[in-house]
Amino acid sequence: MKGMIYKEITLSRKQAFMTGSIFAIFTVLCILVRLSMEYGNIADDTEWRGHLIDNLWILRYLPLVVLAFSYNPSVTMYDDIDSGFLRFCKTTSYSLNYLIGVKVITLLIFETGVFAVNTLYLALLGTVGGEGIAFSSVSVLFKMTVFFCVINLLMLFISTIAKNKKAFEAILVTAVTLLAVAYTPFLMGLMEKYNGRTDIDILDLLRLELAPMLKYVQPLCVVLFVSGVLLNIFVGSKLLERREG
């Protein structure tokens, strides 16, 4: 398994470097903003500072979004397909369950790293702001990391269904479009409900409104994660086997 994980990491090096660089830029900017909130220009603007304090979560979790896709198993899956490696594996006794399993394990390794780096970032941000690091922030970070794992697993599964990269992208675009269409009535309702308020107010109110539902997020993430792993290993590998090469 070591060798195949090594392959996954080697193939993802470029992407990891790119997302890592963007993450570094984001973290520096976020920390500068936080410093400015305490000691710089923003500290003097009470109203603006107040808004930022209320929405510190943006500073806390925005860099995670970038780093969460430093390893994308669907990308390496298409690398395997396009290079002929998948076809090669089918000519050997190497199980496709392992091929998928390795991608899942690599994802876990990467996301654990992402979680650790982001926890350090949270600690740094907390130190700069003087509020320290709260367990609740780490807990949110963890849930978000699991959520991104689920997204990556879903993309991996789509890559086992889609015939080629174009079909894969078409499925993703369709899914995002459908989600946007489904989301529109909800958004329209919000606009009507909070007519005349600023975006930041709406976010605050929305957060309060959604608070009771947050308790379901954690178990849902766990269920989705386990389902994603099982779906890929048992169904995804069968779909890959069926793919004629």
Partner 1 sequence: MNAIEISDLTKSYDGFKLDNISFNVPQGSIMGFIGQNGAGKTTTIRLLLGLIKRDSGSIKMLGLDNIECENEVKSQIAAVFDDIPFHNQLTAAQLSTVLADVFSQWDKAVYSEYLDRFNLPRKKKIGQLSKGMRMKLQIATALSHHAKLLIMDEATTGLDPVVRNEILDIFLEYLQDDSNSILLSSHITSDLEKIADCVTFIDKGKILLTGVKDDIVESHAVIKCKKSDLKDIDKNDIISAHVSDFGVEALAADRKLCEKKYSGITIDSTTLEEIMLFYVRRDKGEWTS
Helix and strand counts by DSSP (H, E) for the chain: 12, 0
| Binder of partner 1 out of 44, 46, 47, 92 (CB under 8 A) | 92
Q: Given phi > 0 = left and psi -120 to 50 = alpha, else beta, which region is 95?
A: beta
Q: Which residue has the tokens 């107010």?
A: 201
Structure tokens at 228: 């994603």
Check residue 204 for interaction with partner 1 (CB under 8 A): no
Q: Which residue has the tokens 């369709």?
A: 174
Cβ proximity to partner 1, 83 vs 218, nearer residue? 83
Check residue 165 for interaction with partner 1 (CB under 8 A): no
| DSSP string across 133-193 | --HHHHHHHHHHHHHHHHHHHHHHHHHHHSSSHHHHHHHHHHHHHHHHHHHHHHHHHHHHH
Query: Taking CB under 8 A as the rule, which mask of x and - marks residues 10-49 in contact with partner 1?
Result: xx--------------------------------------
Shortest distance (Å) from residue 229 CB to partner 1: 20
Cβ proximity to partner 1, 16 vs 122, nearer residue? 16
Among 33, 65, 64, 31, which residue's Cα sits nearest to residue 51? 33
Check residue 193 for interaction with partner 1 (CB under 8 A): no
Sorted by sequence, the CB contacts under 8 Å of residue 205 that are 6+ apart come out as 194, 197
Shortest distance (Å) from residue 38 CB to partner 1: 44
Cβ proximity to partner 1, 98 vs 225, nearer residue? 98
| Binder of partner 1 out of 46, 47, 91, 130 (CB under 8 A) | 91
Q: Could you list the residues that contact partner 1 (CB under 8 A)?
A: 1-4, 6-7, 10-11, 79-80, 83-85, 87-94, 244-245
